[in-house]
Amino acid sequence: MFCPDVLAVREVETHPREKWAVSAEGEGLDFVLEVHLKGDWQKDVETNVTRYARLGIPEHFVFDRSRLAARRSRRTSRRGARPAGGRSHSRVLQLDLTVEVERVRFFFGTAPLPEAEELVVQLERIVSDVSARAEQEAARAEALEARLAEVLSELEKLRSR
């Protein structure tokens, strides 16, 4: 039993899980990202990488936070796997990884994948815009109702003459 810091398995049903058990899921891991900050460097960078290779995990990367570097582990490295700009490419995820402000950042082409905080800010902005538009439309509807009431009143006056 082991617990990688980040893992991905492609082409499986998505639902909440507390853990990934290959025996229960029937699928092995496709991608692992090991994060080393403090503690046993040899475990994170050598022992676990050897274990992942032995288990046949196609891709594993190590993010050494103390050195602010992310790299494909030696066992899965290949020439040409590092695109321009210090990025490493994940064939499994079809994304690039790079270190940005003490964290790993994922990119699709040149576009960074939004992080949770960025998504929250975007959603708040969208909700605010929608609310403002709804208020404007409600005010417009009230004005139209008032104008309709005036026109109906005038029409009633004309009929009664």
Count of CA atoms in the C-beta half-sphere (13 A) of 161: 5
One domain for residues 101 and 121: no
Is 66 inside any structural domain?
yes
pLDDT digits 0-9 by tens, 46-65: 788 888 888 889 988 887 76
Higher pLDDT, 68 or 14: 14
Could you give the 3-state DSSP secondary structure of residue 145?
A: helix
Is 1 inside any structural domain?
no
pLDDT digits 0-9 by tens, 97-144: 888 777 888 899 889 888 888 899 999 999 999 999 999 999 999 999
Sign of CA dihedral 37, 70, 28, 52: negative
Question: How would you classify the pairing of strands 95-99 and 111-112?
Answer: unpaired
DSSP classification of residue 14: -
What is the helix (H) or strand (E) element at residue 71, kind and residue range?
Answer: strand 69-72
Please state the pTM of the whole predicted model: 0.63
Contact 90, 61 (CB under 8 A): yes
Domain extent, residue 92, equals 6-113
Residues with Cβ within 8 Å of 94's Cβ and at least 6 positions away in sequence, in order, are 108
Q: How many domains does the chain have?
A: 2
- CA separation for the pair 61, 72 (Å, rounded): 4
50: tokens are 């050897």
pLDDT digits 0-9 by tens, 19-54: 888 888 888 899 988 887 777 777 777 788 888 888
Q: Identify the weakest region by mean pLDDT among 68-82, 83-97, 108-122.
A: 68-82
Is 33 inside any structural domain?
yes
Q: What pLDDT was estimated at residue 69?
A: 59
Contact 33, 4 (CB under 8 A): yes
DSSP classification of residue 60: E
One domain for residues 37 and 96: yes
